Amino acid sequence: MSTPFHRPASAGLTIPLNRRNFLLLGSTAALVTGCGGGSGVGGPQEDAGGEFTGTYDGPPITLDYWNGFTGGDGPTMLAMTKEFADAQKNIDIKNTTIQWADFYQKLPAAAQAGKGPAVGVMHLDQVASNAARGILVPLDDIADEIGLAEEDFLAPVWSPGIYNEKRYGIPLDVHSLAMYWNKEHFDKAGIDEPPTDAASFDEACKKLQAAGYKTPFWMPNRWPSHLMFFSLIWQHGGEPFADDGSEATFGSEAGVAALTWMREQVDKGYSPENVDIDAQYLAFKNGENSITWDGIWQINDLKEADMDYGMAPIPTIGEQPAVWANSHHFFMTSQAAEDKDMSDASKLFISELSQNSGRWAEAAMIPARNSAREDASYTDSPQAALDDQLENFRFLPSVPGVADTIAPTLEVAVNEAILGKASPQEALEKYQAEATELMQENLEKFGG
C-alpha cells in the first residue's frame, strides 16, 4: 500500500486516495500551462528527433524513465527495464518511480524546466491533455517502423492514443474493473456460478444473506464508485461525456438508471449505509463481504493474502455488457526530442518493451498487443478469465481535460446519491451542468 494523499482543494471533494485510486484520477493535479524551458512545451509538437531506425548506434546515454508503478506492478516493470538495459551496449535506464498523484503534478513543471523524463508511461486518459500542452511528441515513426497498426492491438486503446491526427501514445496494457467473489461464501450459500446479470446478482445476494452473510455486496460512496457508474451507464446505452468534449451527458436517463441501481444495493440491505474509500475491498479481503467490484490490479494483492477467490466480468445490469477500463501508454517528451541520440534511444526503449510486453501480465495487467496475450504469462494468469470480454472494455473519450472534470462533479454526484443526500436524478443533473461548464473552459484552453 502506498501513502494516501489528498486532492488539491481546487479539485472539489477532498478525500484520501491511494495508488489504486489514481488510475483514473491523476488528472486532478494542476498542470502547468504556457511556454518556457524546452522549446516544445506549450503546444502540440511536430515529429522530432528524426525517423526511427529500429537501432541505436550513438554514444553511451542514460534515459530517465518515469512511471507510477509503485505497487505490486513495480517489480515486473523493473525487471523489464533491466532486461532491456542488459541487452544494450550504450543505453542505461534511470527508473524513476513516482506516485501517480505526484507524477501528473510534477511532469509538466519538470518538462518545462528541462528536468523531466525522456520517456515514460501515463494513463490513456492523460495522453491528449499532455499532447495538447506540448509535453509529448508524436510517435508515428515507431509505429510505422515496426509495423504496428490497429489490428495488432485491442481496438479501443489504439485510436485514443491519437491527438490532432498524430500518435502520442503506444499502448502497453488495458486494465478494468472485474467482479471478485469469496468461494467459501458462495459454497456455503449454494451458489454454483458467478452472477452474470441483474437477476442472478440479486438472487446471489439473497442467498448469501440467507447463509449468514448479512451485507454481501458493499457499495462504496467513493472510489471505485464512479468507475462502477461509468460501467453501468454504458451498460444502459448512455455516455458520460460527448466524444468531442463539449458537454457532460452523465445525467441522462441511462445515468439515472445506473446510479439508481447503485443506491438500491444499500436500500436492499446488501451494503452498509456508508462505505468509505477502499473499505469494500478491505472488507472483502477480511471475509466481511462476499462480492466486490474492483480493478484487476488487486490480483497480486489478493495473491499475497492467500485468499480463495474467483474473478469474472462484472454482471450485465443493463441491456448490454460494458465495463470501465483504462490503459497505460508509453510516451516520449519534447525534451528528449531535442536531442537525436536521446530520441533514438527513447524510441528503441518503447519499441522493445512494447514488443516484449507479454511479461507485463505478471503485473496483473492485460497486455494491449494481441501477440503479447499469447504469452503464457497472460494465458495462465487470473485476468485471462476476462479474455472473452475484452471487446466490452470502454474508455473515456480522448479529449484534453475531460478527466479533470470528474473529481469535482461526477464523483460528488455519485457520492451524494449513494449516501442518500440527493436523488440520483437531482445529483446527476446538478453536477452535469457544472461538468459541462468545466468542459467548455477546457475547449477554450486547449482549442476545441
Residues 219, 343 contacting (CB under 8 angstroms): no
> 39-172+327-391 and 177-321+401-446 share one CATH topology?
yes
Contact in structure between 161 and 169 (CB atoms under 8 Å): yes
What tens digit of pLDDT does each residue of 109-133 get? 999 898 999 999 999 999 999 999 9
pLDDT digits (tens, 9 = 90+) for 18-43: 333 333 333 333 333 332 223 333 44
Please say whether the beta carbons of 121 and 67 come within 8 A.
yes
Distance from C-alpha of 13 to C-alpha of 27, rounded to nearest angstrom: 14
In whole angstroms, give the CA distance from residue 394 to residue 231.
8
Domains of the chain: which residue ranges? Answer: 39-172+327-391, 177-321+401-446
364: left (phi over 0), alpha (psi -120 to 50) or beta: left
pLDDT in tens, 208-226: 999 999 999 999 999 999 9
**Cβ atoms within 10 Å of 151's Cβ, excluding its own:** 8
Single-letter residue type at 304: E
Amino acid at 316: T
Report how far apart, in Å, the C-alpha atoms of 80 and of each of 86, 137, 342, 363 are.
10, 23, 20, 11
For residue 301, the 8-state DSSP code is H
Q: Rounded CA gap, 249 and 410, in Å?
A: 10
Distance in angstroms (rounded) separating the CA atoms of residues 104 and 108? 7
Residues of the chain with pLDDT under 50: 1-43
Asked if residue 425 lies in contact with residue 404, where contact means CB atoms within 8 angstroms, the answer is no
Q: How far apart (Å, rounded) are the C-alpha atoms in residues 447 and 42?
A: 13
- Chain centre to alpha carbon of residue 116: 22
d(CA 221, CA 208): 22
> Which residues, 6 or more positions from 423, have their beta carbon under 8 angstroms from its beta carbon?
417
Residue pair 397/245 in contact by the 8 Å Cβ criterion? yes
Report pLDDT for 348: 94
pTM of the predicted protein model:
0.88
> What span, in angstroms and rounded, lies between the C-alpha atoms of 315 and 198?
7
Of 426, 377, 234, give the one whose Cα is nearest residue 316: 234
Q: Quick one: how far is CA 292 from the chain centroid? A: 18
Task: Determine the Cα–Cα distance for residues 270 and 263; give it in Å rounded to an integer.
Answer: 10
- By the 10 Å C-beta count (0-12 exposed, 13-18 middle, 19+ buried), 160 is classed as buried
**C-alpha dist (Å) from residue 235 to 47, 239, 245:** 39, 9, 21
Q: Rounded distance, CA 90 to CA 62, Å? A: 8
Q: How far apart are CA 349 and CA 81, in angstroms?
A: 9
Sheet of 61-67, strand order: 91-97, 61-67, 119-123, 328-332, 170-171
H/E run at residue 81: helix 74-86
What is the rounded CA–CA span in Å between residue 352 and residue 369? Answer: 13
What confidence score (pLDDT) does residue 81 get? 97
pLDDT of amino acid 190: 98
CATH class of 39-172+327-391: alpha beta
| Fold classification of 177-321+401-446 (topology level) | D-Maltodextrin-Binding Protein; domain 2 (3.40.190)
Q: What pLDDT, on the 0 to 100 scale, is given for residue 306?
A: 84
Minimal CA–CA distance to 127: which of 411, 416, 405, 398? 398
Q: Is the dihedral of CA 170, 343, 107, 355 positive or negative?
A: positive
